Amino acid sequence: MVSLRVKLLGLTFENPLILASGIDDKTPEQWIRAHEEGAGGVVTKSIGVEPREGYDNPTIVELPYGLINAMGLPNPGWKGFLKMVEGYTFDFPLIVSIFGGSGEEFAFLAEKLSDVADAFELNLSCPHAKGYGMEIGQKPENVYEIVRAVKEATDRPVIAKLTPNTDDITRLGLAAERAGADAVSAINTLKAVAIDVYARRPILSNRVGGYSGPGVKPVALRAVYDLARTLEIPVIGIGGITTWRDAVEFLLAGASALQIGTAVSLRGWGVFREISTGIEAYLESEGFSSVEEIVGLALG
């Protein structure tokens, strides 16, 4: 009998697949849909102190091997978020993604949202929002300060979501670990641009966006591999996971769980069930009884 159950951050996930923060996770109905379709847990859209409408369209460009998006961190703000989740109960781990421009803002959000979050993911890596995400998350000292502030503000587990737009992602991971992070997730999108050859200008209204999908998988896999070899805390793998083979590669590279985002946009909600079924078949055929048995086997 093969078990896909994963215990992480003091939480139990039915399987290692988690809906990533991004495009398809704005409402409770989408979180519930993801779970019904086979996701073991969910990360919400990033929530900030004040509501944001995000950027004007176009905000997404589809490419042969993924998407470039510049949504602009649209969200209802923390008050709107609490109102949105009123009356809902979730029978799966709900990880609330938060963003801010300082440690104080992150800590404020963690304090206000602790009653509804099973864990927090700190958006230290969005590549297209001025004053947020990657702009502050590229510096290890900022990562340390923000993680530390959040840990002091909440008793919920804290995940630092790291940017690949840096010369050494392990420095960011080590800073998060030193500050008390319970895990890191990697990677967020790669900074990218697409140009319309007839308009002769960038397609996105924000010009620059974040590239995700199958094209970033080797970069994401390398980041997870490096982090898993360096850190003592768990690593959650994100980036181009589209098939069960992709998922198994990330697990072998040291990821304790996996987030899936762009594949939902490109292939539909059924991708969760398809990937989990493939992982289960792989484990059974290779003589393993659980997901946890294969985590990190490629680290050597």
Does the annotation place 240 within a ligand binding site? Answer: yes
- Amino acid, res. 120: F
**Edge-to-edge, what's the strand order for the sheet holding 66-69?**
60-63, 66-69, 208-212, 190-193
Q: Is 239 annotated as a binding residue?
A: yes
Is 26 annotated as contributing to ligand binding?
no
| Three-state secondary structure of 168-194 | CHHHHHHHHHHCCCCEEEECCCEEEEC
> Is 123 among the annotated ligand-binding positions?
yes
- Percentage helix, strand, coil for the chain under 3-state DSSP, each rounded to 5: 35, 20, 40
Amino acid in the structure at residue 159: I
Q: How many other CB atoms are there within 10 angstroms of residue 108's CB atom?
A: 18
Is 125 annotated to bind ligand?
no
Helices 140-153 and 103-113 sit at what angle, rounded to 10 degrees? 30
Scanning 199-286, the segments in alpha helix (DSSP H) are 217-230, 244-252, 262-267, 271-285
Total count of residues recorded for the chain: 300
Q: Does the annotation flag 70 for ligand binding?
A: yes
276 annotated to a ligand binding site: no
DSSP, collapsed to helix, strand or coil, labels residue 269 as coil
Distances, alpha carbon 141 to alpha carbons 108, 168, 259, in Å: 19, 14, 26
* 22 assigned to a ligand binding site: no
Active site positions, annotated:
126
Would the annotation count 189 as a binding residue? yes
Cα 242 from Cα 264, distance rounded (Å)? 9
The residues with which 160 forms a beta bridge, in sequence order, are: 122, 184
Q: Is 100 annotated to bind ligand?
A: no
Q: How far is CA 74 from CA 40, 41, 125, in A?
A: 25, 22, 15
217 known member of a binding site: no
Q: Is 181 annotated as a binding residue?
A: no
Numbered residues of the known binding site for FMN: 21, 45-46, 123, 161, 187, 213, 239-240, 261-262
Numbered residues of the known binding site: 21, 45-46, 69-73, 123, 161, 187-189, 213, 239-240, 261-262
